[in-house]
Amino acid sequence: DTGVSQDPRHKITKRGQNVTFRCDPISEHNRLYWYRQTLGQGPEFLTYFQNEAQLEKSRLLSDRFSAERPKGSFSTLEIQRTEQGDSAMYLCASSLALTSGSTDTQYFGPGTRLTVL
């Protein structure tokens, strides 16, 4: 299976702890996105990378959140000093943008379910 993978699938943590999630995109994809989904809502954009460059961050991404894609392949999303409001499904997606300005279809991973107690 060469789809988008995410690890872990589930994470339970106590308030104030730091957590890190990993996303492995489809291998030839140059763009990688992070979204957050809460119950009853659609996914909300957090940030995206083109290769290793982080090109856009949502205002939802507070300074407790940081994302990296160091070699333009896998990405990590870290949440520091977790709060109960961070409990959500964190989704990663990847796409292949062939030219600047082209529309690209995003393919999603299974998500990481975070529960902050």
Partner 1 sequence: DQQVKQNSPSLSVQEGRISILNCDYTNSMFDYFLWYKKYPAEGPTFLISISSIKDKNEDGRFTVFLNKSAKHLSLHIVPSQPGDSAVYFCAASAGEETSGSRLTFGEGTQLTVNP
Per-residue b or e along 60-91, where b marks 16 or more CB atoms closer than 10 Å to that residue's CB: ebeeebebebeeeebbebebeebeeebbbbbb
Residue whose entry in the numeric block shows the structure tokens 């995109």: 25
Q: How far is the CB of 4 from partner 1 (least distance, A)?
A: 7
The residues of the shown chain that bind partner 1, judged by CB under 8 A, are 4, 6, 31, 33, 35, 40-45, 48, 55-56, 58, 91, 93, 95, 97, 100-111, 113
Compute the distance between CA of residue 19 and CA of residue 71 in angstroms, rounded to an integer: 21
Is the CB of 93 or the CB of 116 nearer to partner 1?
93
Closer CB to partner 1, 46 or 79, in the complex: 46
CB of 87 to partner 1, least distance (A): 15
Q: How far is the CB of 86 from partner 1 (least distance, A)?
A: 19
**Degrees to nearest 5, angle at CA 32 with 55 and 80:** 75
Nearer to partner 1, 6 or 82 (CB): 6
